[in-house]
Each structure stands twice: as structure tokens, then as C-alpha cells.
Amino acid sequence: MLPANLVVLVCLAYVAVLFVVAFVGDRRARKNPAGWLSSPLVYTLSISIYCTSWTFFGSVGSAAKNGLEFATIYLGPTIVFVGWWIFLRKLVTIGRTYHTTSIADLISARFGKNPALGAMITVLALVAITPYIALQLKAISASFQVITFPAGAVAAAAGSLEPDFAIAFWLAAGLCVFSIIFGVRNIDVNERHHGVIAAIALEALVKLVAFLVVGLWVYLALSGTPEEMFRNAPVSLLNPQQSFGERWVALCFLSGAAVICLPRQFQVTVVENSSEEQLRTASWMFPLYLFLINLFVIPIAMAGLNFLPEGTDPDLFVLALPMAEGQGSLGLLAFLGGFSSATSMVIVSSIALSTMISNHIIMPIAMRFSMVPTGSSQNVRSFILVTRRLSIIFIVFLGFVYFWISRTSDALASIGLISFCGLIQPLPALVAGLYWRRATHGGAIAGLGAGFLIWCYTLFLPSFEGAFVLSSDVIEHGLFGWSWLRPHALFGLEAFDPLVHALFWSMAVNSALLIGVSLLREPTPLTRFQATLFIDIFRRQTESELGVIRRTARVSDLRQIADRILGPSEAVQLFEHGAAAEKAVIASDELISQVEQRLAANVGAASARSLVSRVVTDETISVDELKRLAGEAEQIRAYSAELERKSRQIEATAAELAEANERLREIDVRKDEFLSQVSHEVRTPMTSIRSFSEILLNNRDLDETRKLHFLGIIQSESFRLTRLLDGILDMNLMEPGMQPWEATSFDPEDALDQAIATCEPLARAAGASIIRRRRARNARIMGSRDQLAQVFINLISNSIKHNSNAEPEIAISGGTRKTVYELRIADNGQGIPERDRDQIFQKFYRGQQTRHRGVGLGLPISRQIVERFGGELGLSDAKIGGAEFIVRLPLHQP
Amino acid sequence: MASEEPDRQGLRDAATILPFAAAALLAPPLIWIFAGPTEPGRVPLIVIYIFGIWAVIILAAFLLARRIGRLTDHDPQRRDGGP
């Protein structure tokens, strides 16, 4: 035995780790929703909550008693997942596209957002899951008792222990706390719970590793040769011919359906899904997980039969084997594995069910009787949160009560399959909903109701063996003594065992009623519309679909609903998208649909519809339009529209390319021109420098004044050359990605003063006057002061040089406007011709009538500098005679 | 693109056939072939058969998922999952 304190301590430490993982997962997901928590691996591990304690302990038990039958529970899901392309892909895409919150939500949304259907599925799930949760509580408390039993685990597993309700109670309380903290923290779009998923993924790893380690140890230490291993094997394993009858097929079908329909599976597979890649990976990785966790089931079962005394409960072999051989730490690991598998099931099931209860039972009732609190949005949201939290407590403790009540009977032992059979009753409606347009909500309700009743009567109630509702007399002889109503042989069908019998009748009647009742009446227009959306999920959606439902509602009313349910921040976001529409009084059809979809992501499609319906005054659904949409012609039209769109895109791209090419050519031509210009410019001073230096060299007897004159020319020509080269160099320096400058905050007027002072001699030489009109006060901008001064010098000297007026005059005025500093430099020259206006800022461009032979770099460099400041440099449009340049720079607000 | 088209069709067919093939291999009557009585001292054939087929199915699903993934990733328009 292990000391109870140690086991409790290890459990608490493990739970603390889970809390940390969930907490960190939540935080990381909020920071980066596309992080590793959305990876296909985590997604797959979360799906493996399919393996509960029923797998962990029960598989071995089943293998010891019934041979290979345990494998059916995993082969069914394997087939469903490797067949993802056919069914799961469609289901998951629909769930992702329409923000489905649960299986009840999906089915009710498909059948005209029918609230009754959602409520029915919720009740059914609650009834069928309660015993399943009880089974998990029992598994944990029993395994705890076994490994801590003072007389040794083997004795504990052999005798029938009185269940320990104290453990189960505290466990249930702990599970409630965890689920509430991480499962119902907020009402989230998509209802995704990253923290919970992170913890579940860790638990999935723990249970897999635990089972593999125990299995490997058993295989290596205890199994021996095949002969030794199988010496006590059950007949069903050694001579398995009988095992593969209708029960084998039925169990495969049952488990395959269950992996789709169980609320917790639907939660992790569909609701928590965020990309197709996740499902694609899970399609093989989840079967692989199932394969691995079953790999050692047979060796453990056989070793248990060989080494443990007769009468030991086979469901406890996983624990009892290591304990019997004195491997305490292995036993503890196995216990943790079972603990993980049970807790993760309860956590996800209770979260999924609480969403269903809140959205499909409490919300509709609250809205019907006006119990939803009015007033601030906080009230409504906390109302929803509180109902969900209470639902979790209700569900978990219902499981606890069930465990407590059923302590005397063996009802729990076989509850796994019984529960599965009840939970898959929505399957026919789900399949029909995804593939059959004629299916109606009437058919779905009739089928589901009948299936549920048959399941209760033929399987669930008889499982109490006369202790609950049905007496053992009724179970034996049928209701009212009518033998054709015997629960285990309905209509005299005695060939099957009770499970296959119940599965057959419930599925057969369920499907028959679904089809029959659906054919009686035409589906309602809304059902038809939803059918089109769901069935054609992979068809490209066309705009015309929005035109099917026409509704009228006031924007302010819609906004109020969105505020109350979604909260103010999200409502603002939602209404911002249609910023133009916000000013309108009447909301567009698109806006109404958008609001309804977002609400549906929180409270379910049916509740969202009834919320929106309250403010919608007029609704029509065009049936003709719907029929047209579903028709062949429309599909072709949509396809050809798509083709047209693509070819338009390609044409546009080609045009862009041609334009870019044209631009490149032009630049190339200009570059050539510029190069020849530059070589010419360089050549002229070079020629004079060369010829004057030759004169100086060859004629030593020149007089001093002439020598000095020639040297002066050489010097000034060299200066010209340097300036020219500096200009070219500046041009390159300003190219994007070149050296960063040191940005400081400074007053642009200071840079202007500096520039004017520099230009003063030039102005004096040209006889021009510089007039300062206005000064900006207290303007500060960010950047390099010298660079800005360079720009101003360039602009002012341009105005001086290119001014043809007899009395040249340059007017400069600065000012601030809101967050912009603006400087205008105007001259009274002949102005800039219309055709040059766009081009003077282009690199390598030189004006048509240039008298001063520059290199055409000043303005492009200036503009680049100004743009680097985040500002702009341009020409004023005003016709004032001369040219007016405007510099605008963003002000720096410290 | 054009040369990928038959490839894609083939993959789609394979993805559709795989679950049916798996179901057929794991259900009667095919499974009866391997469900004969076990000779003493041997691992039952049926155990080897079921786990072997199971592994083969997973391998096939893995290869298929990888190829479908490659096709989807190459073609950005299909990222939404449309057929």
C-alpha cells in the first residue's frame, strides 16, 4: 500500500501543475491566439478526452472478460477520423464558420433555429451523462482506496469495498472549481477555452505515458512466452469466431457515432477547432493515440489473470498488478493516469453541458418570462456567467448524487455503453441536417423524442434492475404485462442482447420518424435557408445569399442588444465595421445578420434569433430565391462569377506590371540622360583644370598675377566638382534603408534662420531681397536639424537662382496648424509651367527652361528628407505669379 | 496547376475510400477469416490481425493527410477548405 497522505499530496501537486498550465495557457492564448495552443498536436491531445477512466481501467477489465470486444470502442472512432474527408470535415467547417457553441446549438440552428430541439438535446445529454460522470467519480475514489488499502491492493481489488464518498465529494468540489475558473471565466466569441485545452492536453499525455509505462513493465517483467501469457486467456480470445457477430458491428457503430455526438467530443473537436490543418493532423494522430493506449491492454489483462488471485476485479488490474509486485511508484503513476482520464472527462463534459443548459434551457425561459436583467450590459453578462457556473455545479453534483444513490447496485459497471447509446440519438438529425435538404424540424423532434424514449425504456431504466421507475416485474414481462412490450425484447425481437436490441430499435425508429415526418410537410423558409448554408458549406458563398432574408430593424435597437450581450467594447467593434451604416437609422440586412451571428456565438443560434426578432419589425424570406440558390444554374453562375473575378484580378496584375515596366524604362532613359549630363558636368571643370595646369607646367615664366589667376580658376573648378559629387553622394545617402540619423527635438524656425543666413550672400549678389512674413512660435519637430536646414537652403537658393524678375523678392512665412508646422517660400519669378509641376520632384529631372545648369538633384533630395521627417513638400496651387513651395512637417508632442 | 488536377481527384477518391476499406477489413465477414481457433502456445492470430490492420490504417491516413496538406498549402485559394 501507499500512504494516503502521500497519494493526496501527489494529487494536489499534480492539480496545482494543471492549474498553472491552464493559467499560463489562458494568458498565452490571449496574447497570441495563433500560438502553439492552436497547434494540431494540442488539438489532437484534447480530442483524446474520449479515453476516460472507462478506457484506462475498463479496457483491461473488458479484455479479461470478453476478449477483443474492448477494441470496438476505439475502432469506431478510428474509422470516423480516418474518414474525416467525408463527414467530420464538413461538420467542423460548419461549426467553425457559424461559431457553433454545442451539438444542441448546431442541430437547432440547422432546423430553423428551433429552441425546442436545442432544449431536447440538452435534456437528453444531461440524463445520459450524469451516470457517466458518476462512473468517473467512482473510478477515482475506488482507485484511491485500492492503492491506499492497508491490507494491500490485491485484497482491496478482490473484495468489494464500500465506496468512499468523502473522496468523491471533495473531488467533485475541486472539479467544479477548476471548470468554473477556466471554463466559464468569460463569455467568449467561439466559446474556446484555451486554458482548459492546455490542461487537458497535458492530462492526455500523462494518461498515455502512464498506461504505456505500466504496459511495458508488465510486458517485459511478467508476460514471458506467448504460451505462458495466454494460458488463462478467456475463450472469447482463443476461439474468437463468436465475438464477431452483430454485437461487434453494433459496438463499432456506437463508438463511431459517439465520438461525434458526445457533448464533450463535440466541444473539443468542433467548437474548439480553429483550422482545417488541425483536423487533418488529428485524422491520423488521434487514431494513433487510441492505438497506443490500447497496445498493452491484452498483456495487462492476461498478466492479471495469471498473477492475481481469482475474484480480483479485472477493472482494477492496471493498479493491482504493480502494487502486487511491490512497484509502488508504478502504481502511483497508474493512479495518476486514471485520475487524469477521469478528471479531464468531467471537466470538459461539465463545461460543454453548462453552455448547453445556459443557452438552450435557461436563456429561452428567461427571455420568455422576461427574467433577463435589464439595465447595464454588465448585468446581462454576469447573469449568463452565473447561470453557467451554477450549471457546472449542478451537473457535477448530479453525478455525485447518482453515485451515492446507486452505491448498492451494479448499475454503474455497464453505464459507459448505455450512456453512449443515449447520447448518439442526435446522430440521424445531424447527418440529415448536413446532407438532406428536405429534413424538417418536425422530423428531427419526432425522431429524437422517439429515440430518447426507446433508449430510456429498453436500456436506461432497466439498467437499475427494478430499483427506479420500472419494476423488475415490468422488465421481465413487459408494461401492463404485454409481452410485446418487454424492454429487452420489444415486439418480440429476442435475437439480440439488450444493448444491440436498444441500439437497433432506437436508431431505426429515430431515423424512420425523421424521414417520415420530414416528408409530410415542406420545411419552413428559415429551415430551408439554414439547410442551404449548411449543406453547401463548401460551395463558394455568393452575395445573393444575403438577399434571401429581408428584415427591418433600427440600428439603435440592435446596438442596445449587442451592448447588453456582447459587452460595450465588442459592440463598438461590431458597429464600427459598418461605420457608414451607423449613421443610418435603419440597419442593413447585412448588419442584422452580422449582429445575429455574433450573438449566436455567445448564446446559441436559437436564443440569438429570438433576441434579434424582438427588434425586427418585418421579416420575409424569399422561397423562390432560396430554390434558385439551391439550383444547378446558380452553382454554375457562382462558379463562373468566381472565374470572372479571378481573370479580372489577373488582368489588373498584368496592367500593373506593364505600368511598372513603363516606369522602369522611363527611369532608365532618365538615368542615361543623367549620366551623360553628369559626365558632361564633370568633364567641363576637368577640362579647364587640366588645360590650366598644363599651361602652368609648360610655361614656367608666367608672371605672378596670371599664375594666381589660373590657380584661382583651378580652385573654383575643383570646388564645383566637389559640389557636384557631394550632390550625387547625398542622393545615394537618402536612399531608403541608408544610415539612420540622430533624431532630436528642435525648433524649425531656428533651422530656417540658419538657412536664411547662409543664403544672404547669394541673395545680395543677385540683388534679391528675402522677406520674413510670419514666424511660428513654440513649434518643435523631431529629426535632424542640419538636414532640414539643407532643405530650406535648397528651396531659398532655388527661388533666388531661378527668379527672372527685375527686382527679385522671396517671401517666407511659417506657422502651425493643429499638429502640423507649415512653411511657405514664395518668389515673384515667372513660376513653374504646368507641364513641369509634377516632374520637378522626380530624380534626374531638369526643367525645360533651365538657365542655371544644375544636376536636377536638389528638389528630389529635399523631398526625400522632408518625407523622412514624416512630412510633405509640394507646390502651392495658388496663382500668385511666382512659384510657391510648401513644406509641411508633423509637430513633435512631447 | 493542370497537372495537379488528376492528382487532387485521386487524393479525394482515396480519402473517401479509406474509411470504407477500413470498416470492411474490420467487420465480418472478412474478419472471420482470421478468427479461427488459436493453436496452444501461439499469440492468437486475430490479435495480430486487428492490431496490424489498425496500424496500416493509421499509416495510410498519415500519408494521405500529408499529401492533402501539401496540395492545400501549395494552393492558397484552397486554404479555406473548399473542394
10 Å Cβ neighbour count for A330?
A: 21
Residue A595 lies inside a defined structural domain of this protein: yes
Q: Position of cell 477469416? A: B33
Q: A729 Cβ partners below 8 Å, 6+ apart? A: none
Q: Provide the grid cell at A201.
A: 492536453
> Would you place residue A759 in the very low, low, confident or very high pLDDT band (cuts 50, 70, 90)?
confident
Mean pLDDT of A680-695: 81
Mean pLDDT of A215-234: 83
Nearest residue, CB atoms, B31 vs list A244, A280, A281: A244
How close B69 gets to chain A, by Cα (Å)?
A: 7
Q: Name the pairing type of β-strands A744-746 and A781-783.
A: antiparallel
Mean pLDDT of A152-156: 74
> Would you place residue A732 in the very low, low, confident or very high pLDDT band (cuts 50, 70, 90)?
low
Q: What percent of chain A is predicted at pLDDT more than 70?
A: 90
d(CA A449, CA A397): 26
Record: contact B58-A277, CB cut-off 8 A: no
Give pLDDT, residue A430: 95
For residue A496, give the DSSP letter. S
Mean pLDDT of A409-427: 81
Give pLDDT, residue A625: 67
Residue A607 lies inside a defined structural domain of this protein: yes
Residue A535 lies inside a defined structural domain of this protein: no
Q: Are A882 and A832 in contact (CB under 8 A)?
A: no
pLDDT digits (tens, 9 = 90+) for A443-452: 999 999 999 9
Q: Are A554 and A560 in contact (CB under 8 A)?
A: no
Give pLDDT, residue A396: 92
Answer with the one of A589, A610, A630 that is the final residue of a domain: A630
- Top mean pLDDT of A365-369, A663-667, A741-745 is at A663-667
Record: contact A238-B26, CB cut-off 8 A: no
d(CA A668, CA A474): 98
How close B5 gets to chain A, by Cα (Å)?
A: 16
10 Å Cβ neighbour count for A705?
A: 8
- Asked if residue A118 has pLDDT above 90, the reply is yes
Give pLDDT, residue B83: 36
- How many residues are present in chain B? 83
Domain boundaries, position A560 = 544-630
Give pLDDT, residue A707: 85
10 Å Cβ neighbour count for A159?
A: 13
Give pLDDT, residue A512: 96
- Asked if residue A854 has pLDDT above 70, the reply is no
- Asked if residue A574 has pLDDT above 80, the reply is no
Give pLDDT, residue A480: 77
Give pLDDT, residue A426: 95
CATH number, position A779:
3.30.565.10
Mean pLDDT of A867-889: 82
d(CA A119, CA A346): 21
pLDDT digits (tens, 9 = 90+) for A162-221: 777 888 888 899 889 888 888 776 665 555 788 888 999 999 999 999 999 999 999 988
**Which pairs from A501-505 meet CB under 8 Å and 24+ separation?**
A501/A458, A502/A421, A502/A454, A502/A455, A502/A458, A502/A459, A503/A250, A503/A253, A503/A254, A503/A421, A504/A250, A505/A454, A505/A458
> Would you place residue A524 in the very low, low, confident or very high pLDDT band (cuts 50, 70, 90)?
confident
- Count up the domains in chain A and report the number: 5
Give pLDDT, residue B80: 41
Least confident of A171-175, A307-311, A472-476, A816-820: A472-476
Residue A539 lies inside a defined structural domain of this protein: no
Nearest residue, CB atoms, B37 vs list A68, A238, A538: A238
Q: Where are the beta strands (DSSP E) in A581-672?
A: 616-621
Q: Provide the grid cell at A401.
A: 448524487
**Together in a domain, A339 and A447:** no
> Would you place residue A856 in the very low, low, confident or very high pLDDT band (cuts 50, 70, 90)?
low
- C-alpha distance from residue A714 to each of A680, A687, A723 (Å): 17, 10, 14
Give pLDDT, residue A815: 87
A646 to chain B: closest CA residue: B77
**Together in a domain, A880 and A764:** yes
**Together in a domain, A433 and A504:** yes
Nearest residue, CB atoms, B44 vs list A93, A240, A244: A240
pLDDT digits (tens, 9 = 90+) for A581-635: 455 677 777 778 888 888 888 888 888 888 888 777 777 776 666 666 666 666 6
10 Å Cβ neighbour count for B55?
A: 14
Residue A534 lies inside a defined structural domain of this protein: no
Q: Are A199 and A29 in contact (CB under 8 A)?
A: no
Mean pLDDT of A219-245: 81
Cα A607–chain centre separation:
23
Least confident of A442-446, A557-561, A647-651: A557-561
Residue A538 lies inside a defined structural domain of this protein: no
Give pLDDT, residue A847: 56
Amino acid of residue A107: I
**Which of A279, A259, A267, A270 lies closest to A183 in space, CA to CA?**
A267
Size of interface A-B (CB pairs under 8 A): 120
Give pLDDT, residue A483: 75
Give pLDDT, residue A608: 85
Integer-rounded Cα Rg, in Å, for chain B is 18
- Asked if residue B78 has pLDDT above 60, the reply is no
Mean pLDDT of A30-56: 86
**Which of A749, A770, A751, A750 lies closest to A759 in space, CA to CA?**
A770
Helix (H, G, I), strand (E, B) or coil at A619: strand
* pTM for the structure as a whole: 0.72
pLDDT digits (tens, 9 = 90+) for A473-496: 777 777 777 777 788 878 877 778
Answer with the one of A733, A758, A792 that is the final residue of a domain: A733
Q: Is the dihedral of CA B41, B47, B51, B57 positive or negative?
A: positive
d(CA A206, CA A199): 11
**Together in a domain, A135 and A255:** yes
Mean pLDDT of A677-684: 73
10 Å Cβ neighbour count for A233?
A: 21
A44 close to B (CB below 8 A): no
B75 close to A (CB below 8 A): no
**Together in a domain, A638 and A615:** no
For residue A826, give the DSSP letter. E
Record: contact A252-B55, CB cut-off 8 A: no
Give pLDDT, residue A569: 73
Give pLDDT, residue B79: 39
Q: Are A183 and A350 in contact (CB under 8 A)?
A: yes
> Would you place residue A43 in the very low, low, confident or very high pLDDT band (cuts 50, 70, 90)?
very high
**Together in a domain, A724 and A769:** no
> Would you place residue A290 in the very low, low, confident or very high pLDDT band (cuts 50, 70, 90)?
very high
CA atoms within 13 A on the CB side of A504: 18
Mean of pLDDT over chain A: 83
Contacts of A75 in chain B (CB under 8 A): 26, 50, 54
CATH number, position A638:
1.10.287.130
Instruction: Give the phi and the psi of residue A273 in degrees, each rounded to 5.
Output: -70, 140
Give pLDDT, residue B19: 94
Q: Provide the grid cell at A31.
A: 496574447
Amino acid of residue B58: I
Q: Which of the two residues, A568 and A873, has the higher pLDDT score?
A: A873
d(CA A457, CA A475): 9
Q: Are A115 and A606 in contact (CB under 8 A)?
A: yes
Mean pLDDT of A133-160: 81
Contacts of B61 in chain A (CB under 8 A): 81-82, 283-284, 287
Q: In a mutagenesis test of the B interface, which of A43, A69, A70, A79 is the best target, namely the one with the most B β-carbons within 10 Å?
A: A79
B61 close to A (CB below 8 A): yes
Record: contact B65-A243, CB cut-off 8 A: no
Answer with the one of A582, A606, A630 that is the final residue of a domain: A630
pLDDT digits (tens, 9 = 90+) for B12-65: 889 999 999 999 999 888 888 888 777 777 788 888 999 999 999 999 999 999
